[in-house]
Structure formats: structure tokens, C-alpha cells
Chain A
Amino acid sequence: AQKITQTQPGMFVQEKEAVTLDCTYDTSDPSYGLFWYKQPSSGEMIFLIYQGSYDQQNATEGRYSLNFQKARKSANLVISASQLGDSAMYFCAMRPYSSASKIIFGSGTRLSIRP
């Protein structure tokens, strides 16, 4: 079965601290992609970062990095030096390439940054 699990429904973090959002996944596909999206209260979904299952290095995009541990099937998002504007819902997602199209979303983590 294909599944994404985000075990943290909500998190509070002090501004300027680093934060790690957990994500574990389950798939029998040998090839897949992992994504993180941010959804502010306004509703739009913003693509943050991508990690391919065969990528040797962890993906980084500015203040975002993905801590990819394939053996543990985890793909945690790390946000360094958090900012007030980082407060949002964060969704981890996976697309097993055998399914051709479907991307599977986790239940999300609501991140709140305290000033």
C-alpha cells in the first residue's frame, strides 16, 4: 500500500530557530519522488522541494532541506532560521512512478512561528 504519514498535527517554534517536520512513507515501488508543499491560510499550495528516490544527495532549496533516509523511508523537511511567514500547513507528498500520475499527500502539519 502507498501511504504518507505525518505524525505532527501541529508545531510551535520560536522565530529564527530551525524546525524539522517529520514525514514517513510506505511504498513498494523502487522509484518514486518525494515533495513538500506549503499551504498558507490563503489556501494556495506552494511547491517547496523535491527528492528523487535515486538521488544520492539530500535536496536543498534556500532555507529548506530534505533529510532523506531511504532505509528508514523518511523524508523530513528542515527549515533553517524560521520566519514568521513560515507559519502555514505543510504537506509531504509522494508519487510512486509506477502509478504514472497519482501523488499521495500526508495529512499535514500546521507550523506556527512565535515572534
Chain B
Amino acid sequence: GAVVSQHPSWVICKSGTSVKIECRSLDFQATTMFWYRQFPKQSLMLMATSNEGSKATYEQGVEKDKFLINHASLTLSTLTVTSAHPEDSSFYICSARFGAGSQPQHFGDGTRLSIL
């Protein structure tokens, strides 16, 4: 099946650091990629949607200057958490989809981000 690779799987860093998370579709071209944030024992919260070569569309309440998303190619999207603070600690998970219609989204394994 379709494989989405997310890296790193776990990050611990100091407050004020910027952290970049990569999301790659390994065996298909992802026309659309999504970034989610998940708090413990809660559902996924969509942060932004990005189409290759276009600016990301952010959900209401998500700071675009805080969470920089780049979708430079059909197989790679990155999320950069700029000047991270403890409240940014969370589980971040990306997904990718080829085309539209009935195509399911395939998820990466997620990144646990802990800001000290």
C-alpha cells in the first residue's frame, strides 16, 4: 500500500528553537498533503492543507507565521515550528493523498514534539 514517511519521530528541544518536520510520500505522488496536531486522548485537528507548488491553506486559529508549511514537490512537505514554546508540545502527524474522490489519505507515523 501507499507509504508516507515522517521524520523525525521524536524531538526534544529547548524553548525558542525552530523545529522542522518532514513528510514524504515514498511510492506515490501526493497532490495534497495535510498537517494535523493531536493532543493526548483527542482526535486529530487539521492545521493546514497544502497542494504542491501552492501556498498552504491554514485552518482558523492556526498561526501561519508560527507553523510554516512548504510543499515544494509532489513527494515532500515540511512543517517548521518556529521559535517553539512548551505549549507547542504535541503529536504532529502528516498525511498525503493522490488525486481526489475516493482516494484515502495515507498518514505518516507522526512526530512527538516536546519543548522544554
Partners in one complex: yes
Binding site for B on A (CB under 8 A): 33, 35, 37, 42-47, 50, 52, 91, 97, 100-103, 105-108
Enumerate chain A residues within 8 angstroms of B46, measured Cβ to Cβ. Answer: 102-103
Per a CB cutoff under 8 Å, which of A42, A44, A103, A106 touches B105? A103
Are A97 and B100 in contact, with the CB atoms below 8 A? yes
A-B contact count (CB 8 A): 50
Asked if B106 is at the interface of the complex by the 8 Å CB criterion, the answer is yes
Q: How far is the CB of B98 from chain A (nearest CB, A)?
A: 13
- Say yes or no for B112: interface residue by CB 8 A criterion: yes
Quote the shortest CB–CB distance from B52 to chain A (angstroms): 13
Assess whether B104 is in contact with A35, with CB atoms less than 8 Å apart: yes
24 residue pairs bridging A and B, Cβ less than 8 Å apart: A33-B101, A35-B104, A42-B109, A43-B91, A43-B110, A43-B112, A44-B107, A45-B110, A47-B1, A47-B104, A47-B105, A47-B107, A50-B102, A50-B104, A97-B100, A97-B101, A101-B32, A102-B49, A103-B34, A103-B105, A105-B44, A107-B42, A107-B43, A108-B42
A33 touches B93 (CB 8 A): no
Q: Is the CB of B93 within 8 A of A43?
A: yes
Contacting pair B109 A43 (CB below 8 A): yes
Complex Cα distance A50/B34, Å? 19
Q: How far is the CA of A43 from the CA of B43 in the complex (A)?
A: 12
Proximity bits, B36-72, A CB within 8 Å = 1, else 0? 0000001110100100000000000000000000000
A45: chain B residues within 8 A (beta carbon): 44, 93, 95, 107, 110
CA distance A52 to B103 in the complex (A): 10
